[in-house]
Amino acid sequence: MEQVTDNVYAETGYMGCNPGFVETSDGIVMIDSPHRPTDALEYRAVIEKRGKVRYLINTEPHGDHHAGNCLFEAVGVAHQGTREAMERTPLEFMKERLSSIDPDYAPNLDSFYIKLPEITFKESMKLYVGDHIFELINLPGHTASETAIFIPRERVVFTGDNLFHNFNTCLQESVPNEWLNSLEILKGLDADTYVPGHGEVCSKEYLDEQASNIKEWIASVKDGVEKGWSMEEAQERISFLERYPIDEEMKMVGQELQRMSIARLYKLAKEGQI
Ligand SMILES: [Zn+2]
């Protein structure tokens, strides 16, 4: 667990997303929950010593950001599109995935469920908790419902997966052009510290590298389309996997996520959308 500012903490060492939390004068606000239930229980024990968890904000709909939700008694908050995508997530699929990445927890998965957010918004909302304000902003990119959480008092932004810091970028459900625009908006926030969805905590400087990585992705798939490659050929020939360090998680799912990312961009390129 890393203390990012006076009241903000982030965990960048777990498999899955980087969950974080903010200690306010009126309880704790969590941002995303750990992917592996065993990690979530450990994380809960740390947080509960610091206060009652009031709210749990999910930045996006992928399981690595919300699988731990059901282990926390907190009011859930997320973008409407994130809630809808979570509603569509097959429970059995989630349980299978969790039993493979967290075998120690597998015997307890009978009680596992996808805990949906109770409060939703569409463009932006402010959450006032104790002496902190949380600005939730929909910034389409990695997914259409991707949400940044800006905490002005701490000059911190939780970016969700619009920022992968020294970590392979996943574009399988992306809206790439909007993503580039969202990175500009993130850059314009009055903040010093950015907690990415994956990778180490970083500063504003990294946003440009993320943007150029997305541009490279777009260019290489468009180039393949222009050369007349089929989607399968593009999937064979394009690889970004060596670009950033491959951790345990990317070893397991990296190849498949890359194929899905190429498929997504290939379709958008064919439709003239990128
Ligand atoms: Zn994601």
Task: Indicate the pLDDT class of residue 248, thresholds 50, 70 and 90.
Answer: confident
Answer yes or no: is 257 within a domain: no
| Cα 131 to ligand 1 centre (Å) | 30
pLDDT score recorded for residue 206: 98
Whole-prediction pTM value?
0.97
CATH of residue 43: 3.60.15.10
| Cα 62 to ligand 1 centre (Å) | 5
Helix (H) or strand (E) holding 159: strand 156-164
Are residues 151 and 8 in contact, defined by beta-carbon separation less than 8 angstroms?
yes
| Cα 25 to ligand 1 centre (Å) | 31
Summarised one tens digit per residue, pLDDT across range 164-190 is 999 999 999 999 999 999 999 999 999
> Is the model's pLDDT at 204 over the cut of 90?
yes
| Cα 73 to ligand 1 centre (Å) | 23
> Is the model's pLDDT at 61 over the cut of 80?
yes
| Cα 142 to ligand 1 centre (Å) | 7
Answer yes or no: is 28 within a domain: yes
| Cα 45 to ligand 1 centre (Å) | 25
Answer yes or no: is 201 within a domain: yes
Are residues 176 and 274 in contact, defined by beta-carbon separation less than 8 angstroms?
yes
Summarised one tens digit per residue, pLDDT across range 93-152 is 999 999 999 999 999 999 999 999 999 999 999 999 999 999 999 999 999 999 999 999
Summarised one tens digit per residue, pLDDT across range 251-268 is 888 999 999 999 999 999
Which domain does 142 fall in, by range? 2-211
Answer yes or no: is 7 within a domain: yes
> Is the model's pLDDT at 37 over the cut of 80?
yes
Report, as an integer, the average pLDDT of 150-166.
Answer: 98
Least Cα distance to 66 among 135, 24, 110, 16 occurs for: 16
Answer yes or no: is 197 within a domain: yes
Answer yes or no: is 263 within a domain: no
Give the chain's mean pLDDT: 97
Radius of gyration of the chain (CA): 18
Sheet holding 53-57, edge to edge: 2-3, 8-10, 20-24, 27-31, 53-57, 75-79, 119-121
Task: Indicate the pLDDT class of residue 245, thresholds 50, 70 and 90.
Answer: confident
| Cα 59 to ligand 1 centre (Å) | 9
Answer yes or no: is 178 within a domain: yes
pLDDT score recorded for residue 77: 99
Are residues 221 and 233 in contact, defined by beta-carbon separation less than 8 angstroms?
no
pLDDT score recorded for residue 80: 98
Summarised one tens digit per residue, pLDDT across range 209-238 is 999 999 999 999 999 999 999 999 999 999
| Cα 143 to ligand 1 centre (Å) | 7
Return phi, psi of residue 4, to 5°.
-90, -45
Number of domains in the chain: 1
| Cα 221 to ligand 1 centre (Å) | 20
Answer yes or no: is 148 within a domain: yes
